[in-house]
Amino acid sequence: MKRLFTFLLLIASSIQLQAQTETLTLFKADRVFDGTDMHPNGWVLVKGNKIEAVGDSATMQVPASAKIVVLKGMTLMPGMIEGHSHLFLHPYNETSWNDQVLTESRAERTVRAVTHAYATLMAGFTTMRDLGTEGAGYDDVGLKTAINKGIIPGPRMICATRAIVATGSYGPKGLVNEAEVPHGAQEADGNDDLIKAVRTQMGNGADVVKVYADYRWGINDKPEPTFTIDELKLVVEVAASAGRMVVAHCGTEEGMRRAIMAGVKTIEHGDSATPELFALMKEKGAAYCPTISAGEALSSYQGWHKGVDPDPARVAKKHKTFQDALKSGVTILMGGDVGVFPHGDNAREMVLMVEYGMPALDVLRSATSVNADVFGLKDLGNIKPGYLADLVAVDGNPAEDIKAVKQVKMVMKDGVVVKGN
């Protein structure tokens, strides 16, 4: 017993010594966006991997041992949170989605994902939701594990693994029927299949469950609903029993209505949303992730020249949908469907959100505190004492010119500076 007591005492002393030697860093910025508001001449003290104090020269007492980092002309803000990404995809104007799924090896796709994760982190996005590996199985969980172990640099990941689709609705398609090919997501139907799919994905590391509430499988490839409302309710119930939320890919009015009524947490894309559907989302507590960038990117790949050509129908429709969302007061997330366009250009979505009518300060909130709140990230997305030290410094004032979020000069993740001083 005496030996055990001595051993525990040594451990306690070691922990205390480690706490005493934790690095202290004081950031002095021209302004601090704390996740809610912009504050001039802000000071943020970081101890180890946590935010110790927030204030200014008049309110903060700084230990003499603190390293001081002056961020002249910069805004310090929380590490940004990407709401909709696919690390295992790269832009479709490089290689089509079908060919990525069918012809790129899992090794190649994983190597690409490693570089995409690094680019995302260097762009100031310290956390991200990866909403489906698109045929790469559970490799997103392996990537997340490698990041968490410090083997490779990358953002914190919220993984959806394979995602769930109705049989026959998803790709790849247009092949010989008898051919055995990779599927872009897991097919499941009815009670038993859906329960097993949800539980299997959670068991393999899914942090969130993604379903395709509709897809382009109607006559002449018209988007139509896939699952019944009862099937969607079952997915939500099974996921919730293990503490997971459900997100839904939706492009049609009926697909959105079913997903909202079933209790999904976020609606992705929502191209055909109406004011009535946004009102229903607000009533049911569902948030909207518009993915404006994906639509514009796909239109550009088809020959559209923005600012020169008239807006194609899908772009004009998204303008209207986004305006309706703003008027409704529904919670709007920041997520661009990265992978359709280049990783590392995540902030493109923020620029477009402003262009489509959202105030810059609200866009900053969407990319930080709002995403953190909806995704259940209790200690991220804000600059507050006790929160994790995920911080980004950008050149200029993004509340006045949102393009400043693309001028990332410093990135700190978990108290470690991974870019800049």
- pLDDT, one tens digit per residue, over 77-96 is 999 999 999 999 999 999 99
Do the Cβ atoms of 195 and 234 come closer than 8 Å?
yes
DSSP states of 327-381: HHT--B-----BTSS-TT-TTHHHHHHHHTT--HHHHHHIIIIIHHHHHT-TTSS
Element spanning 109, H or E = helix 106-122
pLDDT digits (tens, 9 = 90+) for 168-196: 999 998 676 667 788 899 999 999 999 99
pLDDT at position 254 over 70: yes
Locate tokens 């600012």: which residue?
A: 307
Give the best-scoring range by mean pLDDT among 6-20, 166-180, 392-406. 392-406
Number of helices and strands in the chain (H, E): 13, 19
User: What torsion, rounded to 10 degrees, do the Cα atoms 89, 317, 272, 329 define?
Assistant: 100
pLDDT digits (tens, 9 = 90+) for 287-340: 999 999 999 999 999 999 999 999 999 999 999 999 999 999 999 999 999 999
Q: How far apart are CA 250 and CA 253, in angstroms?
A: 8
pLDDT digits (tens, 9 = 90+) for 337-381: 999 999 999 999 999 999 999 999 999 999 999 999 999 999 999
Q: How far apart are CA 19 and CA 125, in angstroms?
A: 28
pLDDT digits (tens, 9 = 90+) for 130-150: 999 999 999 999 999 999 999
pLDDT of residue 54: 97
3-state SS class at 47: strand
pLDDT at position 13 over 60: no
Is the peptide bond preceding residue 172 cis, with omega within 30 degrees of 0?
yes
pTM of the entire structure? 0.94
pLDDT at position 385 over 60: yes
Burial 120-137 (b: 16+ CB within 10 A, else e): bbbbbbbbbbbbbbbbbe
Beta strands in 238-290 (DSSP E): 246-250, 266-269, 287-289
Q: What tokens does 112 get?
A: 């690409």
What's the mean pLDDT when you consider all of the chain? Answer: 94
> In terms of Cα–Cα distance, which of 136, 199, 130, 193 is closest to 165?
193
What is the pairing mode between strands 391-395 and 125-130? unpaired
Element spanning 418, H or E = strand 416-419
Long-range CB contacts (within 8 A, 24+) of 308-315: 314/271
